[in-house]
Structure 1
Amino acid sequence: MKNISKKFALIFMLLSLVLTLSACSIIISNSNNKPEIKTTISNQGFNQLKVSAAITDISVKYGDKYNVEYEGPKNLKPTVSRKNGSLTIKQSASGIHRINGDPTITITVPKHLLKSLNLSTDDGDIEVENIATTNPISLNTDDGDIDINNLKSPSGKIDTSDGDITINKLNSKNGFKINTDDGDIHISTSNFSGYNLNVDDGDIKVKGDSSSDTFTQNKNSANVLTASTQDGDIKIK
């Protein structure tokens, strides 16, 4: 009877493991080959943008016309929907996937100003260039870098679990919250009126001033940068 119970327990554990793996994404990378497809998946106009992806880099930039281009494996091609001026892009992935290179979603916007911008990817980098929003933005990646060049937004939240955050030219009104668990935070040309910065293992440098763990300045003002990293440096120029 004990042997039968052990067998059932082992079978149950194996089934649980299979179900767990089937719900997750297992990536086998081979960067020597070209991606399988490169195609335009939308050219519809929009004033709000939401991207939720599993395995891809996301790039949003100013350009001549509305365009959403996907480059990567065919079976990971995102879906696109549009309603009331809001464009939603979704990519899901479970099981085992062979990735040749880095899958990428590139979004071009002919108008600098958007109402909202929400970008999220489980595994990939995020890039935003020459964009402005009327509402707070949200950028998140579990594993990847975040690069911003020339962004104007009233406020926002930028977060990565494992990666660097680099920002050049950021204009805000009500402050930003920026965090990376493992990486550096570099910001140049911003208009923050106050700072609340923390590092666990790294250095902080703010326009000539330096600290080894915390830095606060005018933290009760309206436009405060709240930033933290567990393992990395924070540099503000």
Structure 2
Amino acid sequence: MLLYLGLTLSACSIIISNNNNNKPEIKTTISNQGFNQLKVSVTATDISVKYGDKYNVEYEGPKNLKPTVSRKNGSLTIKQSASGIHRINGDPTITITVPKHLLKSLNLSTDDGDIEVENIATTNPISLNTDDGDIDINNLKSPSGKIDTSDGDITINKLNSKNGFKINTDDGDIHISMSNFSGYNLNVDDGDIKVKGDSSSDTFTQNKNSTNVLTASTQDGDIKIK
């Protein structure tokens, strides 16, 4: 039997991925506390934040990588300690549901994993970051924010903002649809840019001095705005 082996190094941790379709070791609720601010910082885990019937944080993956959860003054913090060597099957996942659309803040970070945000609004700027993974957003309202992945695609549908967003991927495509940006400042090193019918091979600027500007870049990939 052939196994695909992947290595993720972070601080003093080594994650070895054995993608042989084995089931995760545990699936458990790690918190059902209410919160209005959310901060997630994990090593090798997918993150999903979405609107739901109740506050709930569910973890699915190896028991020894189970995150810790703390809550203070309405702020929920989720962290994952992964020192040492760990072998994992599949993709560990943290799924967070929020019964209220509106959060004060949202900060999500994973070293190796995808990030998904769906049907969420925030009163403060958001921050989404993954070193190796895709970022998918559907129906997000936030005054501004920063979205970054070193190796992955960024797909956004229905983004409502007031003060612009900064979006970057070093190696991947950026696709954005049904968003309300009033200006664009777009750059690609090796790829194409398409903005609502207009095309460019390296840069595209339009109303870049307006308030709600999308600043986006990719070194190796395309940018498409619909």
Give yes or no for TM over 0.5. Answer: yes
Call closer, same or farther: CA 1:185–1:66 in 2, change over 3 Å. Answer: same
Call closer, same or farther: CA 1:16–1:206 in 2, change over 3 Å. Answer: closer
What is the deviation of 1:16?
28
State whether residues 21 and 95 of structure 1, in contact with CA within 8 Å, keep that contact through their aligned partners in structure 2: no
Rounded Cα–Cα distance in structure 2 between residues aligned with 1:179 and 1:92: 27
What is the deviation of 1:147?
0.2
What is the deviation of 1:95?
2.0
Q: Secondary structure at the match of 2:5?
A: helix
Call closer, same or farther: CA 1:210–1:70 in 2, change over 3 Å. Answer: same
Runs of 4+ in 1 over 6 A off after TM superposition: 13-22
Residue matched to 2:115: 126
What is the deviation of 1:121?
0.3
For residues 80-115 of structure 1, give each alpha carbon's deviation from its aligned partner in whole angstroms, at most 9, with x where no partner exists.
Answer: 000000000001212211111100000000000000
Call closer, same or farther: CA 1:201–1:39 in 2, change over 3 Å. Answer: same
Call closer, same or farther: CA 1:78–1:18 in 2, change over 3 Å. Answer: closer
Call closer, same or farther: CA 1:217–1:36 in 2, change over 3 Å. Answer: same
Mapped pair 1:185 → 2:160: no
Rounded Cα–Cα distance in structure 2 between residues aligned with 1:160 and 1:227: 12
State whether residues 59 and 107 of structure 1, in contact with CA within 8 Å, keep that contact through their aligned partners in structure 2: yes
Call closer, same or farther: CA 1:138–1:145 in 2, change over 3 Å. Answer: same
Mapped pair 1:136 → 2:125: yes
Call closer, same or farther: CA 1:28–1:235 in 2, change over 3 Å. Answer: same
Call closer, same or farther: CA 1:16–1:175 in 2, change over 3 Å. Answer: closer
State whether residues 23 and 95 of structure 1, in contact with CA within 8 Å, keep that contact through their aligned partners in structure 2: no
Q: Select the structure that is richer in strand.
A: 2
Rounded Cα–Cα distance in structure 2 between residues aligned with 1:134 and 1:167: 19
Gaps of 5+ in 1: 1-12
Rounded Cα–Cα distance in structure 2 between residues aligned with 1:185 and 1:170: 14
Q: Which moved more, 1:16-25 or 1:69-78?
A: 16-25
For residues 187-235 of structure 1, give each alpha carbon's deviation from its aligned partner in whole angstroms, at most 9, with x where no partner exists.
Answer: 0000000000000000000000000000000000000000000000000
Q: Which moved more, 1:91-100 or 1:158-167?
A: 91-100
Gaps of 5+ in 2: none
Report the identity percentage.
Answer: 96
Call closer, same or farther: CA 1:120–1:18 in 2, change over 3 Å. Answer: closer
For residues 38-82 of structure 1, give each alpha carbon's deviation from its aligned partner in whole angstroms, at most 9, with x where no partner exists.
Answer: 000000000000000001000000000000000000010000000
The alignment of Structure 1 onto Structure 2 pairs a total of residues equal to 225
Call closer, same or farther: CA 1:14–1:187 in 2, change over 3 Å. Answer: closer
Q: Which moved more, 1:17-26 or 1:102-111?
A: 17-26
- State the TM-score, normalized to the length of structure 1: 0.90
State whether residues 57 and 104 of structure 1, in contact with CA within 8 Å, keep that contact through their aligned partners in structure 2: yes
Residue matched to 1:23: 11
Call closer, same or farther: CA 1:39–1:47 in 2, change over 3 Å. Answer: same
What is the deviation of 1:27?
2.3
State whether residues 198 and 228 of structure 1, in contact with CA within 8 Å, keep that contact through their aligned partners in structure 2: yes
Larger radius of gyration: 1
State whether residues 147 and 165 of structure 1, in contact with CA within 8 Å, keep that contact through their aligned partners in structure 2: yes
What is the deviation of 1:32?
1.9
State whether residues 5 and 16 of structure 2, in contact with CA within 8 Å, keep that contact through their aligned partners in structure 1: no
Give RMSD over aligned pairs.
Answer: 4.5
Rounded Cα–Cα distance in structure 2 between residues aligned with 1:165 and 1:145: 6
